[in-house]
């Protein structure tokens, strides 16, 4: 038994010793029955919030109105919630009122049957009022009770249905699925932050392609990122993209990603060609499909999408940079050394390399530019790509220069020659500046 589980069991035992009913609840029970180590343990009890606080010395009232107290024990936190039933939901997220109730009523208010079970760690017994264990055995995700009612109560549950079906690799019960499809337009009632959190959890999971398919087939993708829908049927030049349209290409790229990815990488894959539909044109002379400046247009669209979904500034900037730069890779073998080193020294370069790899492998399968860059990385490995500068602005001032826009031009020119190996010392750099730039 892990320390986490042992601590959770001790909390249940203390509640029991005080005369209360207490069980593990929700996702931890689902995971235990799947032989997966739970990441956390939630506890449901007959004890009221005040009673929980009196029993445990370190607590935080994270949602006392809803009967939820956070118990702090060692380095762990446990949500201890009083059994409850919910009143009417007026905002698509919160019940107007809650009534402390029984274990059965508490189970019946939850979202999906596989999340609605309890476990008694003292008796080592599953308490299942909603048929969750049978659905777990059938690998079925089914809403508890009436699916439409569950989704009207909290519309985020529609996205959670997609996430659970994705990460658990479960089928979705037909009635539950139809309710998702029917109510998908109501996802706009959910905050952008909560939507983003679910999308991230879907696309960071190795089953992300299934997640994309479910988002699309449910109608949720059209509501959340409508810019992706025109990728379907957006044809591409067959000599470069024999795999098919932009949607097929993007989906194939997701398949080729490694199991573990970052947010900027997976979202740059999803959005790297988002600018193709609005830039689609047919060259009348050659009869060839073109997407002029789709990388720049796509970078702007990516920024709009990620800002709308309230991604962090760092995630937005890294993803936009990857989309903006993804066509530059075709030119790397013709770059001068200084430009190549600057390109490779950017903090987003490694993830852009992975974007480039799956971009190529999902289409024409030519990895010559990727292999070229890997070889240059080995060649450049013994020294920093961007070494300390040979001279700085203070050196120009000492030479009698007045600070101004010319400084950047001169210092960039010196760095270019440093990167290319034609200037190797401070003295050489100063002499070169004196000879090359007469006006100050």
Per-residue pLDDT, 66: 75
Q: How many CB atoms lie within 10 A of CB 421?
A: 9
Q: Would you say residue 91 has pLDDT above 70?
A: no
Q: Would you say residue 92 has pLDDT above 80?
A: no
Average pLDDT for 274-301: 94
Percent of the chain surpassing pLDDT 70: 96
Per-residue pLDDT, 45: 95
Average pLDDT for 414-418: 96
The band of 88, judged by pLDDT with boundaries at 50, 70 and 90, is low
DSSP 267-291: HHHHHTTTTHHHHEEE-TTT--EEE
The answer to whether 355 and 268 have CB atoms below 8 angstroms apart is yes
Per-residue pLDDT, 394: 94
Average pLDDT for 358-380: 96
CA–CA distances in Å: residue 130 to residues 14, 89, 116, 148, 394: 27, 21, 7, 17, 74
Per-residue pLDDT, 84: 86
The band of 93, judged by pLDDT with boundaries at 50, 70 and 90, is low
403 token code pair:
């600070």
SS3 310: coil
For 213-246, the pLDDT digits (tens) are 999 999 999 999 999 999 999 999 988 899 999 9
231 token code pair:
């990728």
DSSP 221-246: HHHH-GGGGGGTT----TTT-TT-SH
Per-residue pLDDT, 286: 81
The band of 121, judged by pLDDT with boundaries at 50, 70 and 90, is very high
Per-residue pLDDT, 101: 81
Residue 199 burial class via C-beta count within 10 angstroms: exposed 0-12, middle 13-18, buried 19 and up: buried
CA–CA distances in Å: residue 113 to residues 30, 79, 139, 439: 10, 20, 11, 78
Q: Say how far apart CA 50 and CA 54 lie, in whole Å.
A: 6
The band of 287, judged by pLDDT with boundaries at 50, 70 and 90, is confident
Average pLDDT for 349-367: 96
Per-residue pLDDT, 63: 72
The band of 284, judged by pLDDT with boundaries at 50, 70 and 90, is confident
For 374-391, the pLDDT digits (tens) are 999 999 999 999 999 999
Q: Would you say residue 95 has pLDDT above 80?
A: no
Average pLDDT for 312-317: 98
Average pLDDT for 78-106: 76
Residue 191 falls in which region: left (phi positive, over 0), alpha (psi -120 to 50) or beta: beta
Q: Would you say residue 440 has pLDDT above 80?
A: no
Q: Would you say residue 90 has pLDDT above 70?
A: no
Average pLDDT for 77-98: 73
For 30-57, the pLDDT digits (tens) are 999 999 999 999 999 999 999 999 999 9
For 46-87, the pLDDT digits (tens) are 999 999 999 999 999 887 677 899 999 878 999 999 998 865
Q: DSSP class of residue 328?
A: G
Q: Would you say residue 126 has pLDDT above 60?
A: yes
Per-residue pLDDT, 94: 62
Q: Which residue has the higher pLDDT, 284 or 355?
A: 355
Q: Which range among 56-65, 196-205, 310-319, 400-409 shows the weakest confidence by mean pLDDT?
A: 56-65
Q: Say how far apart CA 302 and CA 276 lie, in whole Å.
A: 12
Q: Which residues pair with 217 in a beta bridge?
A: none
CA–CA distances in Å: residue 241 to residues 228, 289, 365, 404: 18, 11, 9, 48
334 token code pair:
């013709």
For the chain, the average pLDDT equals 94
Residues 6+ apart with CB under 8 A from 120: 12, 23, 24, 126, 127
């Amino acid at each position: 038994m892990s320390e986490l589980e042992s601590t959770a069991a001790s909390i249940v035992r203390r509640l029991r010793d005080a005369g209360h009913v207490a069980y593990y609840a929700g996702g931890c029970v689902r995971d235990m029955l799947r032989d997966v180590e739970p990441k956390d343990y939630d506890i449901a009890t007959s004890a009221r919030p005040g009673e929980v606080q009196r029993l445990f010395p370190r607590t935080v009232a994270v949602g006392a109105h809803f009967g939820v107290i956070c118990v702090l024990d060692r380095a762990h936190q446990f949500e201890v919630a009083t059994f409850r039933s919910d009143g009417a939901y007026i905002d698509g997220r919160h019940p107007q009122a809650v009534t402390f109730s029984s274990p059965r009523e508490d189970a019946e208010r939850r979202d999906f049957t596989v999340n609605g079970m309890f476990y008694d760690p003292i008796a080592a017994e599953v308490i299942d009022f909603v048929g969750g264990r049978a659905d777990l055995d059938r690998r079925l995700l089914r809403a508890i009770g009436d699916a439409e009612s569950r989704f009207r109560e909290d519309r985020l549950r529609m996205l959670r249905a997609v996430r659970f079906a994705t990460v658990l690799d479960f089928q979705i019960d037909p009635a539950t699925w139809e309710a998702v499809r029917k109510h998908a337009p109501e996802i706009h009632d959910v905050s952008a932050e909560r939507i983003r959190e679910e999308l991230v959890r879907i696309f960071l999971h190795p089953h992300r392609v299934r997640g994309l398919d479910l988002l699309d087939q449910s109608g949720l993708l059209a509501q959340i990122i409508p810019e992706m829908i025109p990728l379907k049927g957006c044809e591409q030049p067959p000599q470069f993209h024999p795999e098919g349209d932009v949607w097929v290409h993007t989906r194939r790229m997701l398949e080729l990603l490694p199991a573990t990815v970052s947010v900027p990488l997976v979202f740059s894959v999803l959005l790297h060609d988002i600018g193709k539909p609005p830039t689609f044109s047919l060259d009348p002379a050659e009869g060839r499909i073109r997407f002029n400046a789709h990388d720049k247009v796509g970078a702007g669209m990516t920024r709009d999408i990620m800002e709308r979904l309230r991604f962090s500034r760092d995630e937005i900037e890294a993803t936009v940079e990857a989309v903006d730069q993804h066509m530059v890779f075709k030119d790397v073998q013709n770059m001068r050394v200084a430009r190549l080193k600057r390109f490779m020294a950017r903090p987003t370069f490694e993830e852009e390399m992975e974007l480039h790899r799956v971009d190529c492998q999902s289409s024409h399968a030519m990895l010559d530019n990727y292999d070229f860059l890997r070889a240059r990385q080995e060649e450049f490995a013994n020294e920093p790509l961007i070494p300390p500068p040979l001279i700085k602005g203070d050196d120009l001032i000492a030479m009698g220069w007045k600070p101004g826009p010319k400084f950047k031009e001169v210092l960039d020119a010196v760095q270019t020659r440093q990167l290319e190996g034609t200037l190797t010392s401070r003295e050489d750099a100063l002499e070169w500046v004196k000879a090359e730039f007469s006006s100050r």
